[in-house]
Amino acid sequence: MRYRPQHIFEYAVLRGLAAVLNVLPYRAALLLAWCLARLAFHVFRFRRHETLRRIHEVFGPGFPQGKAKRIAWLSLRNIAFNAVEMMRVNSIDRAWIDCHMPDFKNHIGSVHELVTQYGGVVFTVPHMGNWDLAGWACHRYGLIMFSVPGKQRNPLVNAWINRQRASGMTLLERGSGTLRQIIKHLRTGHVLAILPDVRMPLPDLKLSFLGGTANMGRGLAMFAIAAKVPVVPAIFRREGWTRHGFDHLQTILPDPSLDKEQDAKRIMEAVITQMEAAIRKAPEQWFWYNKRWVLTPLREDTPATQQPADLKGTPSS
């Protein structure tokens, strides 16, 4: 496969930065990321106007501009810190988790119990805090995680990100037969990690979210219904620079007395209700810069039949 010069350049910059960040002590690496984020936010104003517009869309036009800027800044800083931790993933072992996520071990036992009882779990984690820690932390504590990742435009960068994430989970490629693999994994004691707070490119479930209407995928709910496993919403949050909090929210079980479509909508509404409450409580923890902005409406002429049937409604990062 031949790569574009831009792809090679971006990949070289990424690997060079990763090499530097792995040599530096953890806090020094975060300081470098803080400086780069500060430059991007205040000098280059990276997506700042659009991010502030989104914050005001959710909280209203009367929301103080100073508070909106603080939310936007901390969200961008957190993205930079998340990138540092992804680049240093080989340093994230169980001792690191216990040191930097001290409450995690107090929650993970209940997830193990759910896996033992039902045979698997759908683990939903919105883009809050460092969401990639869900895979790494659960893996370090003995859970077998898997996911269906999205793809970056740069194939070299995409492959590198997948290698980093693969240290904490198995990655399944999209395509025919993926649904069967997902159900098989869920029925054999594995945990599906999925990001629910993205806008689906094709028509799916229209749900009330953050004061607007979001087109969200029902995939995670349909997987849970088909495999007869619970959905576990969880929230990761960054506390200061180096500590991470973890909240295991209310578990949602499929209801066999309901029609599958009704049950899928019920499950998704329960997931996003808890997710919205967490975002409104700590908006700086959320990824406001996501290109797939969840409240962007679909075009009226968007067809509904372009996605493989076995993965319709499956969100990805």
Ordered DSSP codes for 208-259: EETTEEEEE--HHHHHHHHHT--EEEEEEEEETTTEEEEEE---B---TTS-
pLDDT score for 314: 63
The pLDDT of residue 165:
85
pLDDT tens for each residue of 21-52: 999 999 999 999 999 999 999 999 999 999 99
Query: Does some domain include residue 187?
Result: yes
| Structure tokens given for 49 | 């106007």
Q: Is residue 150 part of a domain?
A: yes
Give the pLDDT confidence score for residue 315 in this predicted structure: 61
Per-residue burial over 36-74, b = 16 or more CB atoms within 10 Å of its CB, e = otherwise: ebeebbeeeebbbeebbebbeebbeeebeeeebbebbbb
pLDDT of residue 309: 43
Q: Is 90 within the bounds of a domain?
A: yes
Residue 238 vs residues 187, 242, 317: alpha-carbon distances, Å: 32, 7, 19
Query: Could you count the other beta carbons within 10 Å of the beta carbon of residue 299?
Result: 8
Query: Considering only CA atoms, which of 149, 148, 145 is closest in space to residue 186?
Result: 145
Q: Could you tell me if residue 317 is inside a domain?
A: no
For the chain, percent of residues with pLDDT exceeding 70: 94
Q: How many CB atoms lie within 10 A of CB 86?
A: 20
Per-residue pLDDT tens over the stretch 274-301? 999 999 999 999 999 998 899 998 876 5
What range defines the domain where residue 122 resides? Answer: 5-311
Report how many domains make up the chain.
1
Amino acid at 212: G
Query: What is the per-residue pLDDT for 312?
Result: 53
At residue 300, the pLDDT reads: 64
Residue pair 308/145 in contact by the 8 Å Cβ criterion: no
pLDDT in tens, the chain (317 residues): 678 889 999 999 999 999 999 999 999 999 999 999 999 999 999 999 999 999 999 999 999 999 999 999 999 999 999 999 999 999 999 999 999 999 898 888 898 999 999 999 999 999 999 999 988 999 999 999 999 887 888 889 988 988 888 888 888 887 768 889 999 999 999 999 999 998 888 899 999 999 999 999 999 999 999 999 999 999 999 999 999 998 888 999 999 999 999 999 999 999 999 999 999 999 999 999 998 899 998 876 556 544 444 455 566 55
Check if the beta carbon of residue 122 is closer than 8 Å to that of residue 220: yes
